[in-house]
Amino acid sequence: MRNRLKELRARDGYNQTQLAKKAGISRQTISLIERNDFMPSILTAVKIARIFNENVESIFIFEEEEL
């Protein structure tokens, strides 16, 4: 799975700490997600999607072989 989290943060002017506070998770978790070292729970993915006013699927992109 790849994601557009860093791109969306830059677009909306959030640093990792700000996004983490809005999502109710740690800054370290944001960093891990951005590096594709951690897959967020569905709840966390939905929270992040709502912050950016995007669909979950437009932020977290699964490769065909992963499905």
Tens digits of residue pLDDT in 7-66: 999 999 999 999 999 999 999 999 999 999 999 999 999 999 999 999 999 999 988 887
pLDDT at 63: 82
Q: What is the pLDDT of residue 58?
A: 96
Residue 62's pLDDT is 87
> What's the predicted TM-score (pTM) here?
0.91
Q: Which tops the pLDDT comparison, 66 or 6?
A: 6
Would you state the pLDDT for residue 1? 87
Would you put residue 25 in left (φ > 0), alpha (ψ -120 to 50) or beta?
beta
Walk me through the domains of the chain, giving residue ranges and CATH numbers: 2-61 (1.10.260.40)
Q: Tokens standing for 66? A: 């992963």
- Asked if 61 and 4 count as a contact pair (C-beta separation under 8 A), the reply is yes
